[in-house]
């Protein structure tokens, strides 16, 4: 199977999982509905993204056993809604407002940068140093991190942070390092690396000449 199959199954079924938790525990609080709206819609947007501008790394074929393993690991993200709904937790107004803000900004950074990368490389291969990627080499991961931190905040529990913490350490960081090694083959990479951050945007106080695709 393709690696994207278990990933898409997880993303697409999140809406059903969260609504199922709400029904099972008879918890229809504002926080529960908010979580359903944010995480559920994110899963649906992911499916649209995969249809319109898919990520090539998820196209690789893996064994069924590995696919099941990926799905089980991704299920750790469901700890946040489980804690929120099953424990009838009530996140503060500040936490809910922060979660919505992180979700909105994170979705723009995550999906916007993925779209830029897909359509740029579709017509011209090379190092992308403009737009979303001008100041950070992994703005898509930054956006995804913001999204899931927002979900974790809504859980009102440290347990909600388990999924994103493990993925950040076990997947995000290794993938970012791997990407840097791959981009190092381009002659202009060293200059680009000096003007961009690995994850967080690198702000320069001096005016520099804009880079171009190599």
Tell me how many domains the chain contains: 1
**pLDDT tens-digit profile of 4-20?**
999 999 999 999 999 99
- pLDDT score, position 20: 98
Please state, as a whole number, how many other Cβ atoms lie within 10 Å of the Cβ of residue 151: 27
170 in any annotated domain: yes
92 occurs within a structural domain: yes
The answer to which of 30-39, 50-59, 74-83 has the lowest mean pLDDT is 50-59
Q: Does residue 203 lie in a domain region?
A: no
For residue range 177-213, what is the model confidence (pLDDT) as tens digits?
999 999 999 999 999 999 999 999 998 766 554 444 4
Whether residue 39 is predicted with pLDDT greater than 50 in this model: the reply is: yes
25 in a structural domain: yes
pLDDT of residue 206: 60
Rounded CA separation 150/38 (Å): 9
Percent of the chain predicted with pLDDT > 70: 95
What is the arithmetic mean of pLDDT over 48-52?
96
Domain with 126, as residue range(s), is 4-195
The pLDDT of residue 173: 96
Q: Is residue 205 in a domain?
A: no
Domain assignment present for residue 105? The answer is yes
Helix, strand, or coil (residue 21): helix
130-148 confidence digits (pLDDT tens):
999 999 999 999 999 999 9
**Other Cβ atoms within 10 Å of 41 Cβ, number:** 14
Mean pLDDT confidence for 159-176: 96
The pLDDT value recorded for residue 211 is 44
In a domain, 202, yes or no: no
Q: What is the pLDDT of residues 89-115, one digit of tens each?
A: 999 999 999 999 999 999 999 999 999
**Quick one: average pLDDT of 20-45?**
98
211 domain-assigned: no
């Amino acid at each position: 199977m393709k690696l994207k199959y278990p990933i898409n199954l997880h993303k697409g079924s999140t809406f059903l999982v969260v609504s199922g938790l709400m029904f099972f525990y008879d918890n229809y609080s504002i926080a529960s509905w908010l979580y359903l709206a944010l995480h559920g819609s994110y899963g649906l947007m992911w499916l649209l993204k995969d249809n319109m501008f898919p990520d090539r790394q998820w196209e690789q074929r893996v064994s069924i056993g590995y696919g099941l393993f990926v799905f089980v690991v991704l299920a750790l993200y469901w700890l946040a809604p489980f804690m929120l709904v099953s424990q009838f937790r009530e996140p503060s107004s500040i936490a809910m407002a922060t979660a919505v803000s992180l979700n909105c900004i994170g979705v723009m950074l995550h999906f916007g940068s993925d779209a830029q990368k897909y359509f740029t490389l579709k017509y011209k291969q090379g190092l992308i140093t403009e737009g979303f990627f001008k100041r950070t080499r992994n703005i898509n991961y930054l956006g995804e991190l913001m999204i899931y931190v927002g979900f974790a905040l809504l859980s009102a529990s440290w347990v909600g942070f388990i999924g994103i913490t493990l993925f950040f350490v076990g997947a995000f960081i290794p993938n970012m390092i791997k990407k840097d090694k791959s981009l190092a083959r381009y002659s202009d990479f060293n200059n680009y690396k000096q003007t961009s951050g690995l994850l967080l945007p690198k702000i320069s106080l001096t005016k520099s000449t804009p880079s171009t695709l190599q």
